[in-house]
Amino acid sequence: MMRSSLGSPTRLLRKGWAMAGARYAVILIVALGAYALVLLIAGKDPIQAYADTFSFTLGSRYGFSEVLVRMIPLLLTAIAVALPSRLGLINVGGEGQLYMGAWLATWGAITFTSLPQAAFIPLLIVLGFLGGGAWASVAGFFRARGLVNETITTLLMNYIAPLIVGFFVYGPWRSREMGASAFPQSAAFPSAARLPQFLGTRVHLGLILALVALVAFWFVLDRTKWGLKMKAIGGNPEAARRLGIRLGVYILVAMFVAGGIAGLAGMAEVASLHGRLRAGFSPGYGFVGFLISWMTGGSPVGILIMSFVLAIVFSVGSLLQITQGVPFAAINVLMAIILFVVLARPRLALSTFGRKS
Amino acid sequence: MNWVLIRGVISGTIMYGTPLLYATLGEVVGQRAGMVNLGLEGILLIGASVGFAVSVVTGNSWLGVAAAGAGGAVFNLIYAYLVVNRRANQLASGLTVMFFGMGVSAMLGRAFVGEGIKGLTRYQIPGIASFSWATKTLFSYDLLVYLGIPVALLVWWFVFRTRWGLNVRAVGENPSAAFAAGRRVAWLKYQAVLVCGFLGGIAGAHLSVALARTWTEGMTGGRGFIAVALVIFSKWHPLRAIAGALLFGGAVTFQLQLQAQGSSISPFVLNMIPYAVTLGVLLIWGGARRFAAPAGLGRVYHGEE
């Protein structure tokens, strides 16, 4: 029931990259066309908007590097949705898990201030993973015990996690550096706790973490017995249970690892880009990650491509906010259109291109 | 506890519970027809923004409420199309509606940020209100509040005492059997989705037109998801939804009263209370769901072509 109708990722891979690429292209063209209509109705100039977006993102080295920076949290949160979806679980809590990863990592960074960088970076990775993982495990535990569906719990917990972060940055962790009027944020991370950035851009270690996570995700699911068992559970939980697979353990572990991966995204954001914990630092990365995972049916290659594309799309949001006065939340319309196209027309898009190739 | 506080808690519980009641009733009808609609959050936002915008433009809040109901119903057709016609996954379809609602309401509401309206007129119950000063403030609500319980009764009557309700429940329990018995499954599902959208739109309008009397982006703050949770709490029964809505209204009011009294607890912690209460309620009642939930809930019905 939870499987998307897009076909399994391995089948997509077998049909080849061209096929998958064509499918994503159709989805994107339709979605961008529909969003252009929305912009027109709102009295904006869509062609100018898309031209601006293109030249600001792919047109320069700096713009391109910023796309990669935005891609990092999208990759990680997309994996956090794709992994449990193999079991038929719908994890919509990437946003909350991201916040909790950042929260626990910040605790580490402002507590163990004198560690050397070689010890600090692994510590932050572990803490970020634990923070998000523990948060997601709550939903996983309740689901494994058959108490509550994980979809509704992860959604509700998305509203609690930012409040926890808000409580700490307005309360016990609030920086006093600039007196009482200081912007509510934690103290600055010690320089040893900042993730390294590369080539004079803001692209940081998180990109490598995300790519490692993606490869590990592919390897475990496609090349190990755990992956096979997860597929069996996702395909037919009752049959898997009768074969002696312990469903509860798989659900709990999958949710923990998924939450941990989303937590890494939060940790990387604060430890590299901001250097402090701030309330509301994520503009909804967790939700976009959900979208990417659904669009691609959880295929690792698809996640890589679509994270990149949506990182560009995502920068449309902040760009249009500045140049055309469209509220940032309008980006949700574009995401909704993409999701709509994916849900409404999968067979058409597939069969059209299946016949050609 | 002084009288002022008690009065504040009672009237606040009723006021904040009302939008949740309408939203929960709408979701009950949808789920009785076998459809979980997480898009309720988006529907509420559409109702809130449309209701407020129309109230500002026309100067008539009731027109705003009506437009919000109609807007919610029309908007929910996106969900119906995906789930009924395209046989898409219900949870993902609901999230599509949620994203649409967030974005469209933000674009629509932007022009109305900072505007103010008079809101819905509050009426007093003639007999009780004149009794004393205390009861006067306790029994002064807008018409949507007074209509809340009658609407719940009406939904109950329609779902459990009419042929239409029987058909809707049949579709929710076993669409194949309903089809075999000559029921028009798709059309009944569309009707349930329209009712759900209409009530959700009214709920959103009550938030913006009667409670807040302003529009702010994302002002529903997850109430749509809370309503979905309250459906489980109410065991898919319209009258138990009243208890669920009052419970949530009570949690919100308790938190607001503590803040108003200058409590030393951080507002961030207090703001968690409604979500935490909802999660707790889900845990306590969640185990019972398999005995009360419509059997076809969440399943894709592939039709009998």
Q: What is the mean pLDDT of each run of 10 residues along chain A (357 residues)?
A: 47 60 79 82 80 79 87 95 90 94 94 86 95 95 85 90 92 74 78 83 90 94 87 82 85 95 95 87 87 85 89 74 72 83 64 38
User: pLDDT at position B267, please?
Assistant: 83
Of the pLDDT bands very low, low, confident and very high (cuts 50, 70, 90), residue B136 is: low
User: pLDDT at position A349, please?
Assistant: 45
Write out A278-321 in H/E/C secondary structure. Answer: ECCCCCCHHHHHHHHHHHHCCCHHHHHHHHHHHHHHHHHHHHHH
Give the helix/strand (H/E) hosting A42: none
**Mean pLDDT over each residue of chain B, to the nearest integer:** 87
B266 touches chain A (CB under 8 A): yes
Smallest Cβ distance to B86: which of A158, A166, A343?
Answer: A343
Of the pLDDT bands very low, low, confident and very high (cuts 50, 70, 90), residue B101 is: very high
Count the domains in chain A: 1
Of the pLDDT bands very low, low, confident and very high (cuts 50, 70, 90), residue B288 is: low
- Inter-chain CB pairs, A–B, below 8 Å: 131
Flag whether B198 is in a domain. Answer: yes
State the complex-level ipTM: 0.85
Q: Between vectors from CA B94 to CA B172 and to CA A331, what angle results, nearest 5°? A: 170
* Number of CB atoms found within 10 A of residue A228's CB: 12
CATH of residue A345's domain is 1.10.3470
Residue in this structure with the two tokens 């939203």, named with its chain if needed: B23
Residues in chain B within 8 Å Cβ distance of A310? none
Residues in chain A within 8 Å Cβ distance of B218? 329
pTM of the model: 0.87
Flag whether B283 is in a domain. Answer: no
Contact A157 B279 (CB under 8 A): yes
Q: Which pLDDT tens digit goes with each residue over B45-81?
A: 999 999 999 999 998 999 999 999 999 999 999 999 9
B89 touches chain A (CB under 8 A): yes
Residue in this structure with the two tokens 């329990």, named with its chain if needed: B173
Give B55-79 as a DSSP string: HHHHS-HHHHHHHHHHHHHHHTHHH
Give the helix/strand (H/E) hosting B89: none
Q: Between vectors from CA A209 to CA A205 and to CA A211, what angle results, nearest 5°? A: 115
Q: Which pLDDT tens digit goes with each residue over B160-169?
A: 999 999 999 9
Of the pLDDT bands very low, low, confident and very high (cuts 50, 70, 90), residue B303 is: low
Flag whether B192 is in a domain. Answer: yes
Flag whether B271 is in a domain. Answer: no
Residue in this structure with the two tokens 């796309």, named with its chain if needed: A67
Q: Which pLDDT tens digit goes with each residue over B197-233?
A: 999 999 999 999 999 889 998 899 889 999 998 998 8
Flag whether A327 is in a domain. Answer: yes
Tell the burial category of A96 from Cβ atoms under 10 Å away from its Cβ (0-12, 13-18, 19+).
buried
Residue B144 pLDDT greater than 60, yes or no: yes
Flag whether A3 is in a domain. Answer: no
Tell the burial category of B239 from Cβ atoms under 10 Å away from its Cβ (0-12, 13-18, 19+).
middle
- For the CA atoms of B80, B84, B89, B92, the dihedral, rounded to the nearest 10 degrees, stands at -10
Q: Between vectors from CA A304 to CA A302 and to CA A307, what angle results, nearest 5°? A: 100
Residues in chain B within 8 Å Cβ distance of A142? 283, 286
Flag whether A4 is in a domain. Answer: no
User: pLDDT at position A357, please?
Assistant: 31
User: pLDDT at position A124, please?
Assistant: 94
User: pLDDT at position B290, please?
Assistant: 58
Flag whether B261 is in a domain. Answer: no
Smallest Cβ distance to A147: which of B268, B278, B287?
Answer: B287
Flag whether B8 is in a domain. Answer: no
Average pLDDT over residues B119-131: 70
More confident residue, B187 or A7: B187
Residues in chain A within 8 Å Cβ distance of B88? 5, 343-344
| Enclosing domain of residue B184 | 19-220
More confident residue, A322 or B236: B236
Looking at chain A, which residue has its C-alpha nearest residue B301? A1
Asked if residues A12 and A20 have their Cβ atoms less than 8 Å apart, the reply is yes
Q: Is B141 helix (H, G, I), strand (E, B) or coil?
A: strand
- Sequence-distant (6+) residues with CB within 8 A of B50 are B64, B67, B68, B71, B72, B108, B201, B204, B205
Cα A280 from Cα A282, distance rounded (Å) = 6
Count the domains in chain B: 1
> Which range in A337-341, B168-172, B283-287 is most confidently predicted, on average pLDDT?
B168-172
Asked if residues B184 and B105 have their Cβ atoms less than 8 Å apart, the reply is no
B285 touches chain A (CB under 8 A): no
User: pLDDT at position A348, please?
Assistant: 47
| Enclosing domain of residue A232 | 9-356
Flag whether B200 is in a domain. Answer: yes
Residues in chain B within 8 Å Cβ distance of A160? 272, 275-276
Cα A81 from Cα A295, distance rounded (Å) = 11
B77 touches chain A (CB under 8 A): no
User: pLDDT at position B287, please?
Assistant: 59
